[in-house]
Amino acid sequence: MNIFKLLKTLTETAGPSGYEQNIAAAITELWQPYVDDITTDRVGSLIAVKRGQGAEPRPRLLLAAHMDEIALMVKQVVEHNGNGFLRLTNVGGVDIRHLYGQLVTVHGKCDLSGVIGSLPDRMLPSERREKPFGWEDLCVDVGLPAAEVEKLVSIGNFISFRQPLRKLQGKRVAGKALDNRASVAAVTVCLAYLNGRSHDWDVVAVATAQEETRLLGAYTSAYAQRPDAAIAIDVTFGKGPGANDANTFELGSGPALDLGPNVHPGMLKALQDTAKAMEMKVNIGTHSRYSGTDAFALQVAREGIPTGLVGIPLRYMHTMVESIDTADVERSGRLVGELIANLDDKFLGKLAEGMMKED
């Protein structure tokens, strides 16, 4: 599987949080050859089922990778000397320091290419010079007269970032929306891997909606699908200048398996044991409270779902130049696929027994 080509398709397709229909269509096309059923639920999450070969009723493992991306929204349409401009606000965790000079697409009645601009420092009022931009300083310019902008764009329209995926050196790539299209790619690798393996459990692969704003797709899909166990796949922080603490990981060093309140220790051990059997290097991360991922929403659905968390190291999170190593995508997909291939009817019992054993 060509990981770069896969990621290019995924990252360059727009999918702001709450406006995921375009990316959902792209993922449907990618997953269709590997699954038995694929549908979109009421909140926009994509649900793909790959049936196992075990006796019915078969246990189910849910894989969650969110497909939405951080984005912007039209807050106001303004006129200046007959030209139309858009004031904006954030959708998800957008850092305003990265916005000036970015290329965007405004999703109005038709898609409009635009740029995010502001006055240069010397043209700002003296009290605003040499200070960070605020939302009031930025505008989107689509190059149209005000009358045309008002016809085509409404308050509340989404604005996505327009940035191609670029190859760096080795297996490194950089672009927008690798959080979390890298993990959608890993699920794609997993599904393809399972096409050549027998597995007893049903697999429910979910490209979840609105993770960046509320974990909505993970909450609703976990509730509706009622899996016996789950694994969330997301990105985690990559090491780099100024980012070198215990919970950051080298790009290319393998998946990061998380341990913390949102993770069932038995699921962590199963992933670790699988990695050891595959002779695959993995990292261990920790979260002391909320993990900031779909794992939280999966874990608390219905009676509670034993959940694991796999992270793909990523630098420059929530920017338009997010960077990963494609080897980590491929390894994450194979790791989860191999775990699924080895799930049997005793696995859930072992999880429960493991929680009761004393060290």
Tens digit of pLDDT per residue, the chain (359 long)? Answer: 999 999 999 999 999 999 999 999 999 999 999 999 999 999 999 999 999 999 999 999 999 999 999 999 999 999 999 999 999 999 999 999 999 999 999 999 999 999 999 988 888 888 888 888 889 989 999 999 999 999 999 999 999 999 999 999 999 999 999 999 999 999 999 999 999 899 999 999 999 999 999 999 999 999 999 999 999 999 999 999 989 888 999 999 999 999 999 999 999 999 999 999 999 999 999 998 889 999 999 999 999 999 999 999 999 999 999 999 999 999 999 999 999 999 999 999 988 776 655 55
Helices (H), 122-176: 146-152
CB 173 within 8 A of CB 167: yes
Which strands sit side by side in the sheet containing 172-175, from one edge to the other? 166-167, 172-175, 322-325
d(C-alpha 66, C-alpha 184), whole Å: 7
Domain(s) of CATH 3.40.630.10: residues in the chain:
3-69+176-356
Would you call 212 a catalytic residue per the annotation? no
CB 66 within 8 A of CB 217: yes
What's phi and psi for 24, nearest 5 deg?
Answer: -60, -40
| Domain 3-69+176-356 class, CATH top level | alpha beta
Count CB neighbours of 248 within 10 A: 18
**What is the pLDDT at residue 355?**
62
Q: How far is CA 202 from CA 199, 351, 358, in A?
A: 8, 18, 32
Domain(s) of CATH 2.40.30.40: residues in the chain:
71-161
Catalytic residue among 20, 69, 211, 322: 211
User: Does the 71-161 domain belong in CATH 2.30.40.10?
Assistant: no
